[in-house]
Amino acid sequence: MHVLLFPSDSRMLGERIGVVQRDGVVWYFHYDMPMFSHAVCDLASFRMFTSSLCDKGQCKLVEVERAFGVTAISVKRALKQYRQEGPQSFFVSKRPLVVPRVLKGEMLAQVQTLLDAGHPPRSIEDRLGVKADTIRNAIEDGRLHRPKKGGSAGEPVIPLSTQGAREPAPLPWTTR
């Protein structure tokens, strides 16, 4: 028989597993022994470990839902992923490698020259026939860059205000 020695601020997953959040780290305890920890913002580790607990019968799906305030379908999807693809699947990128088809070699150099001259993507589309969205995607990917506005070259551009900045979304294990 075990004497339950869980901290007062812990949440319970079943009868044996306690969860505590301290200093930006989420700790999982089996009775009084730590069994796993991850950073508060590490969603992949959270999904992997809670799925592993549910798969091994240490806790129920509904207990994870209630303790962390996550949806039932997200817990079910994570458990299905754990069972079909294994724990390593939570830490690999699922985005396929995209090979550029239009902006390669000479065309890439021509578009960059026009961007450096101050032309917006829409006018480059009219001039070269490359879609403006393709140019914007290449800028986001880092294959192209826009010329810096204002200030001399090499100076960091600092926004004047943070008006309109949004609050980050709450993490899945914060209370509702």
User: Where are the chain's structural domains?
Assistant: 11-91, 95-147
Coil vs helix vs strand at 21 = strand
Q: Which residues contact 114 (CB under 8 A, 6 or more apart)?
A: 123, 124, 127, 128
* Cα 85 from Cα 50, distance rounded (Å): 15
- pLDDT value at residue 159: 42
Position 79 scores a pLDDT of 97
The DSSP result for 93-125, as a single string, is --SPPPPPSSS-HHHHHHHHHHHHTT--HHHHH
If you average pLDDT over each of 52-61, 105-114, 126-135, 137-146, which comes out highest?
A: 52-61
pTM for this model (two decimals): 0.55
Q: How confident is the model at residue 160 (pLDDT cuts 50, 70, 90)?
A: very low
